[in-house]
Amino acid sequence: MRAPQLTPASRILVAGHRGLAGSALCRRLRAAGHENLVLATSSEVDLRDRAATSGWLAEHRPDVVVLAAARGGGIFGTVTQPADILSDNLRIQTSVLDAARAVGVPRLLFLASACLYPRESRQPIRETSLMGGPLEPSTEFYAIAKIAGIAQVRAVREQDGLAWISAMPTNLYGPGDNFHPTSSHVLAGLMRRIHEATQAEEPSVTVWGSGTPRREFLHVDDLAEACVTLLEHYDDPMPVNIGTGRDISTADLAKMLAETIGYTGAIEFDPGMPDGVPRRVLDIRTLTGLGWEPRIRLRAGIAATYQWYLDNTALPRQREAVRGHEMVG
């Protein structure tokens, strides 16, 4: 099959356009002249509702769909709400994918997650490691839902011949992230915790887990660029890793955040909280072979994200307190 090409006239549905990944992709598409974006908020169409989703796609008939909508919640959410996370993600995926299939959407990109890989995967993790062993228990049910989405994409390719593809991003961060105290992912959650400790002049800040797990972090603008590269150049049933190929320990990440924010207190760890897998770093040779490379280094990306947090999330009095603080580039 030959993947249809993106053009300025392409009607592109970004499902989850208000989320971290979806909003970055919309910014990237608009910057490239793709103004014909098909967008809807959850109040306009609940993607868990099969009938509503089917009717909405039948009305708007996009040429391209990027399924970036999902229910996450960080490691705390996946541990405490596994049934909700499994059910909501399965319903979102089947609603959107079945509706897209029914109207014959020729091009679709499904965004899964690197947490789908087995806990004991050989590092760096290649795409062929998928389904090669037991999952990490703390994210098992989220991973099962996303694996089902990848399987459905492959099944549609085989049965209908549509140029649908899947990708597995690593840990994301950047403008538009979720900084909730419990439902955020690791980088955003740590950023908020250290920022608040700085404002309160607390002598120490506690980081969940032991500090030893190693992860890679991808700026969401690099993810958006990767998505466009895949839509323009990739057409294969094998899902593609999206990452940096470089990892960092949670302890070193906390130190980098503290340096950026200006926190000088002690960083302590709570080993009673789950660590997740000991290490996860992706082999990104499939994607770099298409000409894509991550551009935003972690320290610079953290500084820009912290500035976004100050401008958009932190309380006004907190913004005043840090005004003039020089970011670490």
Residues 272-300 have pLDDT tens digits of 888 888 999 999 999 999 999 999 999 99
User: What are residue 241's phi and psi, to 5 degrees?
Assistant: -70, 140
Whole-structure pTM value: 0.92
Domain assignment present for residue 285? The answer is: no
105 lies in the same domain as 149: yes
The tally of domains found in the chain comes to 2
Domain assignment present for residue 324? The answer is: no
74 against 196, higher pLDDT = 196
191 lies in the same domain as 222: no
Residue among 70, 79, 120, 168 nearest 280 (CA): 120
Q: Which residues are CB-neighbours of 253 under 8 A, at least 6 positions away?
A: 186, 187, 190, 215, 217
Q: What is the CATH number of the domain that holds 210?
A: 3.90.25.10
Domain assignment present for residue 90? The answer is: yes
* Tens of pLDDT, residues 109-157: 999 999 999 999 999 999 999 999 999 998 999 999 999 999 999 999 9
Catalytic position from the list 142, 234, 263, 309: 142
194 lies in the same domain as 307: yes
**Strand-pair category, 64-67 with 107-111:** parallel
Q: What is the CATH number of the domain that holds 39?
A: 3.40.50.720
Separation in Å, CA 63 to CA 13, 163, 202: 8, 11, 53
**Domain that residue 112 falls in:** 12-174+218-242
Q: According to the annotation, is 276 in a ligand binding site? A: no
Structure tokens given for 328:
């670490």
Our CA angle for 73, 261, 313, nearest 5°, is: 50
Q: Which residues are CB-neighbours of 112 under 8 A, at least 6 positions away?
A: 146, 147, 149, 150, 166, 167, 168, 169, 239
Confidence (pLDDT) at 180: 83
* Tens of pLDDT, residues 227-238: 999 999 999 999
Residue among 203, 168, 118 nearest 283 (CA): 168
142 is a catalytic site residue: yes
CA distance 300 to 36: 32
Q: According to the annotation, is 253 in a ligand binding site? A: no
Domain assignment present for residue 291? The answer is: no
152 lies in the same domain as 272: no
Q: According to the annotation, is 275 in a ligand binding site? A: yes
